[in-house]
Structure 1
Amino acid sequence: MLVSLLLTCHPLLPNGIGRLGSLVQTFLPWLGLAVPVLLALAVLRRSAVALVALSLPAAAWLGLFGGALLPATESGGITVVQHNASDENADPAGTARALTEARPDLIGLQELTPPALSAYAAALAPDYPYHSVRGTVGLWSRYPLVDDRLLDIRPAGFGTDWNRALRATARMPDGDVAVYVAHLPSVRLGLPDGFGSARRDESARLLASAVAAERLDRVILLGDLNGTVHDRGLAPLRAHLPSTGSAFPFSWPTALPVARIDQVMAGSATVTDLWSLPPTGSDHLPIAARIRL
């Protein structure tokens, strides 16, 4: 019963104490693991009542995540890749080449460092002649980019050297698309603050305000948002960019991915498919997506 309530009523969990609601929402898909465990116990006890009761959490989980288990049926559109490339990546050129294996039209990168930037630029230049880099985030494109600019999404107290968002117009064959690349502040789990997401949430609201003021109808956001699609801290962004793809696949950490905190979100467009790419030199897995414009 508790698992069913958490799956169906997670938006009602309070966030005032340690941001409990956001914490549960971050790992929401993992609540499904309770179903096979409880099923095994019910079988061992030969309890028909317990077996019937299991239908509640199973149905709740399938209602939230079952669609992600179905194969994608739509084709067409564009392909994009989102990747936090890591500022400790020892092989930026190899990472860049790995990302192009998906043949994306757009590539959004975070944690770009000055020493590594030239390697990314050189490796991507042949297929992606258009790019924009602002601070530690960058966008590479097969199509011309115009109106590119830095976005200020700094939470209170952050210095002027903290620059983690940009906006550009991609001149696609069937019309202009506004593309945002962002890297929201990290969250921390510990005492006394619990799930420390206040700065991330503030930055998400600033980014959402920029998207709300966007003059173009079609918008794509590629970002390490340090939050999952169910996390209420990203609700301001979801209000303007409702198409997020599924909660799967997970992207972080590379060694044992437990959550997808790298997001592809779209407004007046649809994320029709989403998948992870092989590991690079980063602690995040790259995420690729198909978007129907």
Structure 2
Amino acid sequence: MNNPSAPSSRTGGLPARVGVLGGGRMGAGIAHAFLVKGADVVVIERDEASAQAGRERVASSAAKSIERDPHSGNLDEMVSRLKTSVDYADFGDRELVVEAVPEDWALKVAALRKVEEQLVPGAVLASNTSSLSVSGLAEELERPQDFLGLHFFNPVPASTLIEVVIGKQTRPDLVEQTRSWVQGLGKTAVVVNDAPGFASSRLGVAIALEAMRMVEEGVASAKDIDNAMVLGYKHPTGPLRTTDIVGLDVRLGIAEYLHETLGERFAPPPILRDKVARGELGRKTGKGFFDWS
């Protein structure tokens, strides 16, 4: 332990000291969201090169937001409150740490245990998992009462939603504390009890899988299916374009988990498996259901 006393949060606002494990797209977005609101943020990565890349990712995201809204902050001041590191001990004085590593059970468990070893009693540990059991992850920890899910949405700075997932052992007062934090970020909390896929992933994947089956069956093109949802149901982005943005490999992993836990209605269609096998993972590879090149 780096600090013998429990941290104290800002009354009615955000924690002053926040940690993020993982500086990828989601982790950088989460760090950015807290920096904009005045928090001191530490991002931990696996090696020095990744830590530097994470810092550049956060700084770039902050610069773009300030370019869009010059009143949102000063870039130099904002970045001065950001630290990137490879040392988990730097989480020792954090009031909240959000884990944002890939959706792999063993990887998340190992990462969460390493973070928890550094936290003082009362500090909150959260996972940005989009589908894995929060209660199950909590069972792997020493202090499950201080753990919950905080499911941010991509792109984090622009998204107005955070899904707060309550595990079976999450202490009741943490729910309202987390609501206050979400409000402090300028976002809206949707509170759900732990269940496979929570609310957002379960519904989003169900629609996306059906859209994939429609493409597979030749019902309509990917573009027309998406337009039907955007224009007819006012979705900001269609289910197939959203899948490309999230990553087809990520969607496949979630679908496989939901298939295992909830049954055949979440069985991944062959078109999804085939595209992942070919490396057509969406925007990050230049091709998915759409051409991003």
TM-score by length of 2: 0.33
Whose helix fraction is larger, Structure 1's or Structure 2's? 2
- 1 or 2, which has the higher strand percentage? 1
TM norm structure 1: 0.33
Structure number with the bigger relative contact order (C-alpha 8 A, sep ≥ 6) is: 1
